[in-house]
Structure 1
C-alpha cells in the first residue's frame, strides 16, 4: 500500500477547540478517502497554539526554535495540507497568518491544500473565499474547490450537522484525489540554505 502524509494545521486558541475538532474530522475523512484508493495516510497534527510564542520570536529574529522548525518541516514535507483557522474580524487569525509567513517561500507551491474555518456566525463563511483562499493562491498551493466552514449551529445535530458532514466528506474526497494523482514531494535537504549568507548579514531576509 502506498503511504502518504497529511499535515493538519489547526489555529484554534482554546482547549477544547471547535477549530481542532473540525481539523480532526477533515483529517479522518481524508484518511478514509485515501484508504479507499489504496493509500495509507499518516496524519501529522500541527497545533499552532503550542507554537505561538516561537512564531512571534521567529518573525522578530528570523530564526525558528527547534519545535517550530519541526512543525514547519512537517508542513513542508507533507503530501497534502489541511489548514483550519478560526475567523476573527472577518478574516483568518493572526497566528494562522504568521505561521505561514515564516514558512519558506515556495514551500507550498503545487501542494494540495484543503482550507476550512470556524466562526461565531455563518456570515463569516465568506472569509474563506475573500481571505483564506487568496492567501494560499498567492503561495501557489493547489486549493481544493470545497472550503468547509463550521458555525456553532453546525455542531448542534440535526440537518445542520448533517450538511456539515456532507461538506467535510466532499472536501476530503477532493483533497484525497489531488494527493493520489501527484508524486510525493522530494525529501528536503537538511543542509540546504534558504537564504544566502549575504542576505543574512545584510538583514535582507526580513522586511
Structure 2
C-alpha cells in the first residue's frame, strides 16, 4: 500500500515538474514577444519623429515661399514705379535719350529679377507639395506596417497560448483525483486541477492586461 502511494506521489510530482517546465517555457515566449513588441513601438516612435521633422521642414519651406512672395511683391512694386518713371520720361520731352536708355535698362533688369523670383517661387511650391505627399505616404506606410506587425505578433502569441490551454486542460483531466485519493496525497508538493486552473486564469488576466493578447483569446477560461 505504501509502495503504491509512493509511486502515485512520484508520478504526481513528475507531472507537476513537467507542468512547471511548460509554464516557464510559456513565460519565456511571452517575455520574448513583449520585447519584440516594445522594439516595434520604439521603431514606430522613431519614424513618427522623422515624420514630424519632415513636417517642420515643410513649414520652413512654406516660410521661405512666403518670404519669396514678399520679395516678388516688392519687385513688382519696384517694377510699377519704374514703369511710372518710364511713362513720365516719355511725357517729358526735355529728357535726353541717354536718360531714356538708362531707364529702359533698369526696367529690363527688374523684369528679369521678377521672372527669376517667380520661377523660384514655382519651384519651391512644387517641392513643398512633393514633400508633403511623401511625408503623408511614409506616415501611412509606417503606421500600416507597424499595425500589421503587431497584429501578427498578437495572432501568433494567441495561437501559442491556445496550445498551452489545451495542454493545461489535459493536465487538469489527468490530475483529477478520485474521492479515495484525496487524503492519500498531501504536503507542500501536492497539487490539483483547481490549482492549475487558478494559475492559468491569473496568467490569462496578466497577458490580457499587457495588451499583447486580446481578451477574446481567453473566452471560455472560466
Q: TM-score range by the shorter chain?
A: under 0.3
Structure number having the greater helix percentage: 2
Q: Choose between structure 1 and 2 for higher RCO, CA contacts under 8 A separated by at least 6 residues.
A: 2
Structure number having the greater strand percentage: 1
- TM-score (normalizing by structure 1): 0.20
**Bigger radius of gyration, 1 or 2?**
2
